[in-house]
């Protein structure tokens, strides 16, 4: 029986004031037992936040720059100065706009660190025969520190440290893998294996404000007041999921990762340090309602049942500014333009959610379709 243990720290932090966050991040890292020994002076570090899309930090879609700033200050305090920030958002994007809006440009300038556009790829093979394009420059770094944002997710229930590894795949390819792994089970197994291949060396989770409801892009920010840290991202996620009242076993992405031995979810093997564990227990942020619906659909019936009963993306023509981004992103060519309006061809849609994640104006929502709509 494996008795190996891990430490997860949870520090109470109720605002993004940089001075407060710098202090709390330092305490969270220290309480988790510190950074792994391999991260030492001279180490070249890639900080991998969640930069899903060009949204300002108060939307709780992306990792808040104050938390990354706290990490940079900690790294500099232990003489680690070769620091780069990078993540690959969903679909294609304008890097400058992404970094400006998410606060990364200012952060990089004031802290004198690099920003890396994830444009070059190399391939890795996971699950014996699945070839995945990932960031080529990953080999140039000695260590990766993942800084996920705690959010709900329509397909995987929550997105935290394990899901953040998906950011190592270039945006367009992510769209493709949503298409080839459309069910929660397939996607969770896929990401768990990807996590094992690209496991970060350390995780610092931003849950000062998290996302509740229909995440990862259209939910609402909710104050949760926590910063979590640890060397085992699966254990960090296992701790964080109780913010939504979940047990780790409820979340396939965490369960699959633990089952495969990529991390720990048993509470008696997780040493909990820090002052925020009572806060976590008391929280009951809203889950992503539709993710619970998706989980209940048997795998074999997933396509049929979802086709007949489920929702489909609907474009609100009042909110749509006709930028065409959704049409560009849809790997199934299910979005088309007619009479100067963007529409979804339900028959082609595989419910990958990429258009919803991509629309900068929240003009696309999942809505229940009438049976006859599904033949459009
Ligand atoms: S739905 Fe959104 S992404 Fe699509 S064209 Fe309209 S504003 Fe652009
Ligand atoms: S229309 Fe359907 S298939 Fe196309 S991006 Fe949106 S959810 Fe995915």
Ligand 2 atom closest to 356 (CA): 6
| Phi, psi of 4, deg, nearest 5 | -55, 140
Residue 157 DSSP code: E
> Which of 87-96, 123-132, 196-205, 346-355 reaches the highest mean pLDDT?
196-205
136 alpha-carbon distance from chain centroid: 20
Ligand 1 atom 7: residue of nearest CA: 320
Residue 33 confidence (pLDDT): 98
> Phi/psi of residue 337, each to 5°?
-115, 130
Task: Identify which of 11-15, 344-348, 358-362 has the greatest average pLDDT.
Answer: 11-15
Residues lining ligand 1, judged by CB closer than 6 Å? 315, 320-326, 342, 359, 361, 363-364
Domains of the chain: 6-290 (3.40.50.11440), 297-375 (3.30.70.20)
What are the start-end ranges of the H helices in the chain?
18-31, 65-77, 95-102, 104-111, 161-164, 171-180, 184-197, 233-240, 252-259, 277-282, 289-296, 302-309, 325-329, 354-358
Q: Which atom in ligand 1 lies closest to the alpha carbon of residue 316?
A: 1
CB 242 within 8 A of CB 177: no
pLDDT digits (tens, 9 = 90+) for 62-84: 999 999 999 999 999 999 999 99
Q: Rounded CA gap, 340 and 338, in Å?
A: 5
The predicted structure's pLDDT at residue 309: 47
Q: Report residue 364: phi and psi, to 5°.
A: -115, 125
Query: What is the pLDDT, as a whole number, of residue 129?
Result: 80
Residue nearest to atom 3 of ligand 2 (CA): 349
Q: Could you read off the pLDDT of 190-238 as tens digits, one per residue?
A: 999 999 999 999 999 999 999 999 889 889 999 999 999 999 999 999 9
Q: Using CA atoms, how far apart are residues 280 and 15, in angstroms rounded to an integer? A: 16
Residue 347, both tokens: 């028959």
Structural contact between residues 5 and 265, judged by C-beta atoms closer than 8 angstroms: no
In the predicted model, is pLDDT for residue 366 greater than 90?
no
Q: Is residue 3 pLDDT above 50, yes or no? A: yes
Count of H-run helices and E-run strands, the chain: 14, 16
Q: Report the nearest atom of ligand 1 relative to the CA of 321.
A: 7
Query: Which neighbouring-strand residues pair with 202?
Result: 145
- Rounded percentage of the chain residues whose pLDDT exceeds 70: 91
State yes or no: pLDDT of 241 exceeds 50: yes
Taking the centre of ligand 2 as the mean of its atom positions, its distance from the CA of residue 86, in whole angstroms, is 26
Reported as a single tens digit per residue, the pLDDT across 174-188 is 766 776 677 888 889
Look at residue 374 and tell me whether its pLDDT is greater than 70: no
Q: What is the pLDDT of residue 172?
A: 64
Pick 36 or 358 by higher pLDDT.
36
Q: What is the pLDDT confidence band of residue 130, given thresholds at 50, 70 and 90?
A: confident
Mode of pairing for the β-strands spanning 202-212 and 143-147:
parallel
pLDDT at 370: 55
pLDDT at 173 exceeding the cut of 80: no
């Amino acid at each position: 029986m494996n008795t190996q243990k891990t430490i997860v720290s949870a520090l109470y932090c109720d605002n993004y004031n940089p001075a407060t966050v710098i202090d709390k991040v330092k305490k969270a890292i220290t309480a988790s037992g510190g950074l792994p020994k391999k991260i030492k002076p001279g180490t070249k570090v890639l900080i991998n936040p969640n930069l899903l899309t060009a949204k300002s930090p108060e939307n709780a879609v992306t990792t808040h720059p104050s938390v990354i700033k706290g990490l940079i200050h900690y790294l500099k305090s232990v003489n680690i100065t070769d620091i780069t920030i990078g993540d690959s958002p969903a679909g294609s994007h304008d890097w400058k706009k992404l970094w400006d809006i998410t606060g990364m440009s200012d952060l990089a300038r004031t802290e004198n660190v690099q920003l890396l556009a994830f444009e070059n790829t190399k391939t890795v093979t996971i699950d014996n025969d699945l070839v995945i394009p990932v960031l080529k420059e990953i080999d140039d770094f000695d260590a990766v520190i993942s800084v996920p944002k705690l959010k709900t997710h329509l397909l995987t229930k929550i997105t935290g440290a394990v899901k953040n590894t998906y950011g190592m795949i270039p945006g367009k390819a992510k769209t493709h893998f949503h298409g080839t792994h459309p069910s929660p089970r397939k996607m969770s197994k896929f990401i768990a294996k990807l996590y094992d291949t690209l496991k970060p060396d350390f995780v610092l989770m931003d849950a000062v404000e998290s996302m509740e409801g229909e995440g990862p892009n259209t939910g609402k920010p909710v104050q949760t007041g926590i910063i979590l840290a640890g060397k085992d991202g699966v254990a960090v996620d296992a701790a964080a999921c109780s913010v939504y009242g979940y047990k780790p076993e409820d979340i396939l992405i965490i369960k699959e990762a633990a089952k495969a031995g990529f991390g720990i979810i048993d509470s008696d093997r997780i040493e909990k340090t820090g002052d925020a564990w009572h806060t976590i227990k008391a929280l009951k942020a809203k889950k992503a309602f539709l993710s619970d619906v998706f989980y209940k659909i048997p795998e074999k019936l997933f396509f049929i049942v979802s086709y007949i009963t489920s929702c489909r993306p609907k474009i609100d023509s009042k909110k749509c500014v006709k930028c065409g981004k959704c049409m560009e992103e849809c790997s199934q060519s299910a979005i088309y333009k007619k009479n100067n309006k963007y529409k979804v061809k339900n028959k082609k849609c595989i419910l990958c959610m990429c258009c919803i994640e991509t629309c900068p104006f929240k003009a696309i929502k999942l809505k229940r379709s009438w049976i006859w709509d599904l033949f459009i």
